[in-house]
Amino acid sequence: MTEMVFTPEGNARAFRDALGRFATGVTVVTIAGPEGAMGFTANSFAAVSLDPALVLWSPAKSSTRFAHFAGAQHYAIHVLDQDHADWLTRFNRGGQGFHGLSHEINPEGVPVIHGALARFDCVQHATHEGGDHLIVVGRVLRAAHREGAPLVFSQGQYGRFVPGA
């Protein structure tokens, strides 16, 4: 086995490759933007606390939509199902966003997408500097989920979760 080693003064690609060995779920974070519904694809989602119910996600500061998402007081985090790969391009830079996508507005005015594997309606609890990202901690107001398998991201690729494999 060849082991790639990253050091702070070393190769940033080796660091990214090492991070890629950790599989993550994929989410779409939505807000009510200045010109309507906005979405942001993120795999930087994690649970923080059960009591109080807190979750986090981390938008990249380099995103052209960063200011809108970093400043949003209310947002919804949607966990993608393995069949939602089309949502990735829809909410990436230059994608069609909410155009033609069925959605509702929650009590806080945030657009929520039908069919997500899970959804967390949040109010911003805290933000923390995190290098080239901002760590956004949200207090969960409501959560919903359904049966299904998540879309996962690992080693630069999207795929399906296979239980017991």
Tally of structural domains, the chain: 1
Q: What is the pLDDT along the chain (165 residues), one digit of tens a residue?
A: 566 565 666 677 777 777 777 788 899 999 999 989 999 999 899 999 999 999 999 999 999 999 999 999 999 999 999 999 888 889 988 888 999 899 999 999 999 999 999 999 999 999 999 999 999 999 999 999 999 999 998 888 888 877 776
**Could you tell me the CATH number of the domain that includes residue 72?**
2.30.110.10
Give the DSSP letter of residue 80: P
Q: Is position 162 within any domain?
A: no
Tokens, residue 65: 């939509």
Q: For residue 163, tell me if it sits in a domain.
A: no
Ramachandran area for residue 115 (φ above 0: left; ψ -120 to 50: alpha; else beta): left
Residue 165 lies in a domain: no
pTM for this entry: 0.90
Domain that holds residue 50: 12-155
In a domain, 100, yes or no: yes
